[in-house]
Amino acid sequence: MTDAPWYVLGVGSVGTLWACRLARAGLPVRLLLRNAARLGRYQQGPGLRLIEGNCETGFALPAQTADAPGPIQRLLVACKAYDAEAAVASVRHRLSNGAQVVLLQNGLGSQQAVASLLPKAEVIFASTTEGAWARPDGAVVFAGQGLTWLGTPQSGPAPVWLDDLTRAAIPHQWTTDILMRLWRKLAINCAINPLTVLDQCPNGGLRAHPRTLAVVCQELEVLLHAVGQPTAACGLAEDVERVIEATAENYSSMYQDVAAGRRTEVHYLIGYACAQARQAGTPVPALDALHKALLAKLRTLGLPTG
Ligand code: NAP
């Protein structure tokens, strides 16, 4: 065990899931809330509530805002990708030299932006297959068991504080190729999520689009090679097909965000892929068309496109 408190920035679904498990293991956890109004509301309530199966547990964890005093040695960032950079900037002045900062954002682009803000920190990228969602009453439901991959873009060795995650029973694995994991997940997301929004269907509905899927996967494979991620390209089309079959009844996260009128992380998913393709000089016409159609749909619905 290590003794530095875990500061959790972004106490939504994933932040709550992590904070509660770390606290349950007896580890010190502090919540960092957006502003005084959020803090006041939290302090008047029962604390965090986590639902696992039929069991609900409450955790009255100490909370503060970014401008509270005191150094931060260990920071878990669980905001949406589009909020991560500003959220981290708000606590940057409190980070100790060599602080560990774990980034749980989906997609790519936000991690690099945060890392460049923090040249003196040890920035760890993560990719998780766990799932959680917040009920309207604020309780968070742990909906999907999974695994969290962690690693540094410099392929550094596993740090000693990973013991905290083991102690908290958070399934995890250190990897020296976290960018490959993030790119692979992003590529699968690019193939599935935008189409489910455009076609208004669960993942299984994409069985009706074999040609589009084949062309998009082929372009993604070329792109992955062009950005130096050939391993992430291996068997991509087959994996996309497998995910569609295994989750045929489910609605993608992007579909759910759009259906609920929430901002999507499009800029860090297909938006990032298309931008990287442009930068690499790799033509991806089908992916570009999908991206364009998705942005048009978001605009029609009055949702942000960035
Ligand atoms: P979420 O429920 O929307 O939670 C994000 C939290 O960040 C919100 O509570 C938000 O607070 C807070 N936040 C934003 N800006 C902040 C700031 N400046 N200071 C303090 N707090 C701030 O999102 P989520 O579902 O947990 O997702 C987090 C990330 O994990 C996303 O990138 C997502 O794609 C990824 N992920 C999620 C899941 C899942 O199952 N949920 C699975 C895999 C990956 P406000 O309420 O004040 O806005």
pLDDT tens digits for 65-106?
999 999 999 999 999 999 999 999 999 999 999 999 999 999
- Cα–Cα nearest to 190, from 169, 175, 212, 172: 212
Residues paired with residue 151 on neighbouring β-strands, in sequence order? 125
* Mean pLDDT along residues 118-129: 97
Residue 6 structure tokens: 């875990």
Percent of the chain whose predicted confidence (pLDDT) is above 90 = 98
- Cα–Cα nearest to 128, from 232, 245, 15, 251: 15
Q: What average pLDDT does the structure give for the chain? A: 97
> Which of these is catalytic: 120, 185, 292, 297?
185
Tell me the three state secondary structure of residue 257. helix
Residue 199 structure tokens: 């076609």
Q: For ligand 1, which residues put their CB under 6 angstroms from it?
A: 9-15, 32-34, 38, 78-81, 83, 86-87, 90, 104-106, 128, 131-134, 265
Tell me the three state secondary structure of residue 94. helix
Amino acid identity, position 42: Y
Q: How many CA atoms lie within 13 A of 121 on its CB side?
A: 29
pTM for this prediction: 0.97
Please name each of the domains of the chain with its CATH number: 6-176 (3.40.50.720), 180-300 (1.10.1040.10)
b/e burial code for range 263-283 (CB count within 10 A of at least 16 → b): bbbbbbbbbbbbebbeeeebe
Distance CA 250, CA 71 (A): 42
Atom of ligand 1 nearest to the CA of 90: 18
Torsion of CA 194, 197, 201, 203, to 10 degrees: 30
Atom 37 of ligand 1: nearest residue by CA position: 14
Atom 38 of ligand 1: nearest residue by CA position: 131
Contacts of 161 (CB under 8 A, 6+ apart): 2, 4, 74, 100
Contacts of 56 (CB under 8 A, 6+ apart): 49, 50, 139
Evaluate if residue 3 carries a pLDDT over 90: no
Q: For the beta carbon of residue 145, count every other beta carbon within 10 angstroms.
A: 10
Evaluate if residue 2 carries a pLDDT over 90: no
* Mean pLDDT along residues 188-192: 98
Evaluate if residue 133 carries a pLDDT over 70: yes
Distance CA 239, CA 253 (A): 18
Distance CA 182, CA 122 (A): 18
297 catalytic? Reply is no
Q: Each residue of 196-247: pLDDT tens digit?
A: 999 999 999 999 999 999 999 999 999 999 999 999 999 999 999 999 999 9
Tell me the three state secondary structure of residue 246. helix
Atom of ligand 1 nearest to the CA of 133: 41
Evaluate if residue 166 carries a pLDDT over 50: yes
- Determine the distance separating the centroid of ligand 1 and the alpha carbon of 14, expressed in angstroms: 7
Atom 22 of ligand 1: nearest residue by CA position: 10
Tell me the three state secondary structure of residue 76. strand
Q: For the beta carbon of residue 27, count every other beta carbon within 10 angstroms.
A: 20
Long-range contacts of 259-262 (CB under 8 A, 24+ apart): 261/301, 261/303, 262/303
